[in-house]
Homo-oligomer: A and B are copies of this chain.
Amino acid sequence: MDFSALMTSAGINIGLCALFLSLYSILRKQPTNVYVYFGRRIAQDHNRETECFTLDRLLPSPSWIFKAWENTESDILQCGGLDSVVFLRFLVFSIRIFSIAAIVCLFGVLPANYFGRDMLHKRIPFESLEVFTIANVIEGSRWLWVHCLALYIITFSSCVLLYHEYKSISRLRLAYIRNSPHNLSHFTVLLRSIPNSGVEMAGDTIRNFFGNYHGSSYLSHQLIYRTGKVQKLMSSAEKVYRKFVQLKLASCGLNTRQKLYRCGLCGGDKSIPFHFQRNEEDLDEKITDITTADIFQEQEGCLAAFVFFKTRYAAAIVSQLMQSPNPTLWVTDQAPEPRDVYWSNLSISYKCLWFRRVLMLIISVVFMFVFLLPVTFVQSLTQLTQMKKMFPFFRDILKMPMVTKVVTGYLPSVILLLFFYTVPPVMMLLSTVEGSISRSDRKKSACHKILYFTIWNVFFVNVLSGSLLTQLNAMTRPNDLATQLAEAVPKQATFFITYVLTGWVGLCSEIMQIFALIYTFVRRYICQLDDDPQLVPTFPYHTEIPKVLLYSLLGFTCSILAPLILPFLLVYFCLGYVVYRNQILNVYVCKYEMGGKLWPVVHNTTVFSLVLTQIIAIGVFGLKSSKFSSGFTIPLVIGTLLFNEYCRQRFYYVFTSLSVQDLIEMDREDEISGRMEYIHEELLSGYYKFFPAKDSNKSDICNVDDGATTATESNQFSSIFS
CB of A336 to closest CB in B, whole Å: 20
Q: Which chain B residues border A662 with CB–CB below 8 Å?
A: 325
Closest to A646 in B: B354
A473 part of interface (Cβ distance < 8 Å): yes
Chain B contacts for A658, CB-based, 8 A: 322
> 1/0 per position for A649-672, CB-CB distance to B under 8 A?
111111001111110100000000
Report yes or no: A661 in contact with B324, Cβ–Cβ below 8 A. yes
Does residue A213 face the partner (Cβ distance < 8 Å to B)? yes
Interface residues of A (CB under 8 A from B): 174, 213, 316-318, 320-328, 354-355, 358, 472-473, 476-479, 642, 645-646, 649-654, 657-662, 664
User: A659's contact among B322, B472, B659, by CB below 8 Å, is which?
Assistant: B322
CA distance A657 to B646 in the complex (A): 26
The reply to whether B324 and A649 form a contact with Cβ atoms under 8 Å apart is no
Q: How far is the CB of A22 from chain B (nearest CB, A)?
A: 48
B354 with A322: CB separation less than 8 A: no
Residues of B within 8 A of A661 (CB): 213, 323-325
Q: CB distance B654 to A325 under 8 Å? A: yes
A645 is contacted by which of B358, B649, B659, B660 (Cβ under 8 Å)?
B358
Closest chain B CB from A102 CB (angstroms): 33
- Which residue of chain B lies nearest to A477 when distances are taken between CB atoms in the complex? B477
**Cβ of A478: which chain B residues have Cβ within 8 Å of it?**
476
B322 and A660 contacting across the interface, CB-CB below 8 Å: yes
Q: Which one, B317, B321, B659, contacts A324 given CB within 8 A? A: B659
With a cutoff of 8 Å between Cβ atoms, the chain B residues found around residue A654 in the complex are: 325, 327
A358: B residues at CB distance < 8 A: 642, 645
- 23 example contacts (A-B, Cβ-Cβ < 8 A) are as follows A213-B660, A213-B661, A213-B664, A317-B321, A318-B660, A320-B321, A322-B653, A322-B658, A322-B660, A323-B659, A324-B660, A326-B650, A327-B652, A327-B654, A328-B649, A328-B650, A354-B646, A355-B642, A358-B642, A358-B645, A473-B479, A476-B479, A477-B479
Contacts A358-B645, A472-B479 known; list 5 others, CB within 8 Å: A322-B653, A323-B660, A324-B660, A325-B654, A476-B479
Q: Which of A325, A477, A652 has the most CB of B within 10 A?
A: A325
Q: Which residue of B lies closest to A478 (CB)?
A: B476
Say which residue of B174, B323, B354, B649 sits within 8 Å of A325 (CB atoms). Answer: B174
Instruction: Give the complex CA separation of A322 and B657 in angstroms.
Output: 7
With both chains docked as a complex, state the minimum distance between the C-beta of A359 and any C-beta of chain B, in angstroms. Answer: 9
Q: How far is the CA of A323 from the CA of B327 in the complex (A)?
A: 24
In the complex, A544 Cα to B223 Cα: how many Å? 51
Which of A324, A642, A652, A661 is packed against the most chain B CB atoms within 10 Å? A661
Query: CB-CB < 8 A to A653: which residues of B?
Result: 322, 327
In the bound complex, residues from chain B placing their C-beta under 8 Å from that of A321 are 316-317, 320, 657, 659-660
Whole-angstrom distance between the Cβ of A477 and the nearest chain B Cβ: 5
Closest residue of chain B to A332 (Cβ to Cβ) is B660
Residues in B neighbouring A326, C-beta threshold 8 A = 650
- Specify which of B472, B645, B649 is in contact with A327 (CB 8 Å cutoff): B649
Whole-angstrom CA separation of A355 from B645 in the bound complex:
9
Interchain residue pairs A-B with the least CB separation, the first 9: A327-B653, A476-B479, A325-B659, A322-B659, A477-B477, A323-B660, A321-B660, A354-B649, A174-B325
Q: Whole-angstrom distance from the CB of A643 to the nearest CB of chain B? A: 11
Tell me the bound Cα distance from A627 to B355 in angstroms. Answer: 28
* Chain B residue nearest in CB terms to A472: B479
CB of A54, distance to nearest CB on chain B (Å): 50
Please, which residue of chain B has its CB at the minimum distance from the CB of A663? B321
